[in-house]
Chain A
Amino acid sequence: MRRSVFRKRLGQILTYLVWTLLTLMTLFPIYWMFLVSARSRVELFGNFRLYPTGFFIENYIRPLFKDVYGRYLLNSLIVTTGNTILVAVLAILATYALSRYRIPGDQNIFFWTITNRMAPPAAFMLPMFLLYSRVLRVGNWQLFDTHIGLILAYCVFNLPFAIWLLKGIVDTIPVDLDEAAMVDGASVMQVIWQIIVPLAAPGIAITALLSWIFAWNEYLFAATLTSVNARTFTTGLGEFVTVVGTNWGEMAAMATITLIPALLFLALVQRYIVVGLTFGAVRE
């Protein structure tokens, strides 16, 4: 009896030890990035210190207000938000159709959507680039380097994801509800917006948040399909590397800003993240 109490204690101590260690290991890279962002060049390559040494705000101010990063930030906000709204609307319509109607081959359509999500971006990058910059070109107008171009491009990976996530939720809403509404003379659109959407609201909110984060984090499409006007913030981060003599402090500062939405998001929905990240594959 005594021994089992002892073993339980030991187990608990070990658990805490492991998790504390893991927490430190998880946080340390981010902590280091923040430290670098708060130091001037001189401090960085001077004595090595693991604790904060003042705050060199210039690392944030210069790229954001004197360089192009402020504009990149605005582009990112426009593109990610636009994409999220478009994806949410399309996904709701698509999910409703997939969930309520039996069309020949609907399983295949469903399967096809996941291959889109799983395909390496490298496989989409080239055709999209060619379509945007060469083929779909009318006079001076082209999709390349425009906000709308990126908003559409992000649908390639966000829409399948949203459909997969929402289908599980819409499937659980009883069909009797829409049938009752139909009997009362509601149109399909009315059923969707007045019955399905309110009932699936929490799921839609999480899907939208995740889509937003995915779009915000995206690099390859944005790097390929934009040059100056619509370049996103995350992609701008990649530009630091190629420049001769990287300004590490500024790079760290911009990377820290990239992190902010993710942190907010995690604080908001950390309890639901499990469902979101597994495409609902685990639920049932």
Chain B
Amino acid sequence: MGLLPFFYVVYVGFFDWNIFSKVAGLVYTGANNYRRLVFDADFLASIQRSVTFTLWAVSIEMVLGMALAQLLMRDFVGKGFFRAIHALPLTVAPIAVGATWRLLTMPGLGPLPYYLKQIGFDYNIGRYPTHAFATTVLMDVWHWTPFVTLTMLAGLSALPREPFEQAMVDGANRWQILRHLTLPMLRPVILTALFLRIMDALRIVDEVFMLTGGGPGMRTHYIGIFVWRVVFPKTDYGYGSAMSVLLLYFTIVLCWLLLTTITQARRESGT
């Protein structure tokens, strides 16, 4: 099921094809599409924007998720309830997440602009590129931090108890335990969460599309939205295929990195 589209997209990537040509009317252009790709400033800029977005969103999510997982390791009444509520955003459809955040941030309708105006801050995601960018990051943090938390929680619960008890006896403080015990032992789990989050953040489309439509200007025009625009409104199929091939290639490299790093980390930590 995945193989057929793959070969097909490689094939189409060598042709010039748009809505006006029939299947038989493909024009062979060799590596032209790929050459165009390398010099396409818009394409490169959208990659750069995606990377910036990913760096911000994923680093916030990792730190926050780790902290929350630590908090959830404690025993307190109502833990299950909080955990369930915390997991809620994960199950919400991305498009609905986008819709929800649009309702929150719409000038004249949402509470966010309303209350920020009360304290004298002019918040408008349709007008200020920085606000739009920050809001997409915030939305992603809202949506995906629980994923990191739950992954870390699963990892933390699976750790053996003895080294920690030993460290407590030796009088290590909380920071030392985190730095020298928890983090190294949790390395495979942290890497798993990190890679999965990076890959997901790089391919974000529907949430951002719904929230900002890629605007204002091009500020939130991430790579997924860029490909979508080339393929559908512009129907530049050959060029779009070349882009898909490139994205697939990077994905496969990332996946491979993920698997080898995790396997290695697992071997080192002896689990």
Neighbour of A22 across the interface among B68, B74, B248, B254, CB < 8 A:
B68
From A55-63, A179-187, A270-278, the one touching the partner chain is A270-278
Q: Which residues of A contact B85 (CB under 8 A)?
A: 23, 26-27
Provide the bound-state CA to CA distance between A160 and B255, in Å: 14
Contact residues of B with A, CB < 8 Å? Answer: 1-2, 4-6, 8-9, 12, 23, 68, 71, 74, 76, 78, 80, 82-96, 99-104, 106, 108-111, 114, 142, 147, 150-151, 153-155, 158, 189, 192-193, 196, 199, 202-203, 205-206, 209-210, 213, 223-224, 227-228, 231-232, 237, 240-241, 243-245, 247-248, 251-252, 254-256, 259, 262, 271
User: Which chain A residues numbered 116 to 138 have a C-beta less than 8 Å away from chain B?
Assistant: 116, 118-131, 134-135
- Given contacts A15-B76, A30-B88, A48-B111, whether A127 and B244 have CB atoms under 8 Å apart is yes
User: Which 5 residue pairs across A and B have the least CB separation, nearest first?
Assistant: A120-B203, A262-B91, A217-B93, A127-B5, A127-B9
Neighbour of A219 across the interface among B5, B94, B142, B262, CB < 8 A:
B94
Q: With a 10 A CB-CB cut-off, give which of A124, A238, A281 has the most chain B CB atoms.
A: A281
Q: Tell me whether B74 and A277 are in contact (CB under 8 A).
A: no
A107 to chain B: closest residue by CB: B259
Q: Which residues of A contact B2 (CB under 8 A)?
A: 112, 116, 119, 124, 156, 160
Q: Tell me whether A30 and B23 are in contact (CB under 8 A).
A: no
**In this assembly, does A177 line the interface, its C-beta being within 8 Å of a C-beta of chain B?**
no
Provide the bound-state CA to CA distance between A10 and B209, in Å: 44
Provide the bound-state CA to CA distance between A129 and B240, in Å: 12
**In this assembly, does A32 line the interface, its C-beta being within 8 Å of a C-beta of chain B?**
yes
Contact residues of A with B, CB < 8 Å? Answer: 11-12, 15-16, 18-19, 22-23, 25-27, 29-30, 32-33, 36, 44-45, 48, 50, 111-112, 114-116, 118-131, 134-135, 152, 155-156, 159-160, 213, 216-220, 224, 234-235, 237-238, 240-241, 248, 251-252, 255, 258-259, 262-263, 265-266, 270-271, 273-275, 277-279, 281-284
How many Å from the CB of A121 to the closest CB on chain B? 7
Provide the bound-state CA to CA distance between A234 and B93, in Å: 8
How many Å from the CB of A177 to the closest CB on chain B? 27
Provide the bound-state CA to CA distance between A22 and B231, in Å: 40
Q: Tell me whether B99 and A251 are in contact (CB under 8 A).
A: yes
Q: Which residues of A contact B86 (CB under 8 A)?
A: 22-23, 26
How many Å from the CB of A9 to the closest CB on chain B? 12
Contacts A23-B82, A238-B95, A255-B99 given; 12 further ones with Cβ under 8 A?
A: A11-B74, A25-B142, A26-B86, A26-B89, A121-B203, A217-B95, A219-B95, A234-B93, A237-B96, A241-B213, A262-B91, A282-B155
- Given contacts A29-B101, A111-B255, A125-B228, whether A273 and B4 have CB atoms under 8 Å apart is no
Q: Tell me whether A156 and B1 are in contact (CB under 8 A).
A: yes
Neighbour of A124 across the interface among B5, B103, B205, B259, CB < 8 A:
B5
Q: Tell me whether B101 and A273 are in contact (CB under 8 A).
A: no
Q: Tell me whether B6 and A282 are in contact (CB under 8 A).
A: no
Q: Tell me whether B192 and A255 are in contact (CB under 8 A).
A: no
- Given contacts A116-B2, A156-B1, A238-B95, whether A274 and B150 have CB atoms under 8 Å apart is yes
Main secondary structure of the interface of A (DSSP, over half): helix
Provide the bound-state CA to CA distance between A45 and B153, in Å: 43
A-B pairs with beta carbons under 8 Å apart, 10 shown: A15-B71, A22-B68, A33-B96, A112-B2, A123-B248, A126-B231, A135-B8, A135-B23, A265-B91, A284-B271
How many Å from the CB of A101 to the closest CB on chain B? 20
Q: Which residues of A contact B189 (CB under 8 A)?
A: 281-282
Q: Tell me whether A259 and B92 are in contact (CB under 8 A).
A: yes
Q: Which residues of B contact A234 (CB under 8 A)?
A: 93, 95-96
Q: Which residues of A contact B205 (CB under 8 A)?
A: 121-122, 219-220
Neighbour of A32 across the interface among B104, B209, B271, CB < 8 A:
B104
Neighbour of B103 across the interface among A32, A235, A275, A278, CB < 8 A:
A32
How many Å from the CB of A137 to the closest CB on chain B? 9
Provide the bound-state CA to CA distance between A154 and B67, in Å: 35
Q: Tell me whether A122 and B1 are in contact (CB under 8 A).
A: no
Q: Which residues of A contact B206 (CB under 8 A)?
A: 219-220, 238
Q: Tell me whether A126 and B251 are in contact (CB under 8 A).
A: no
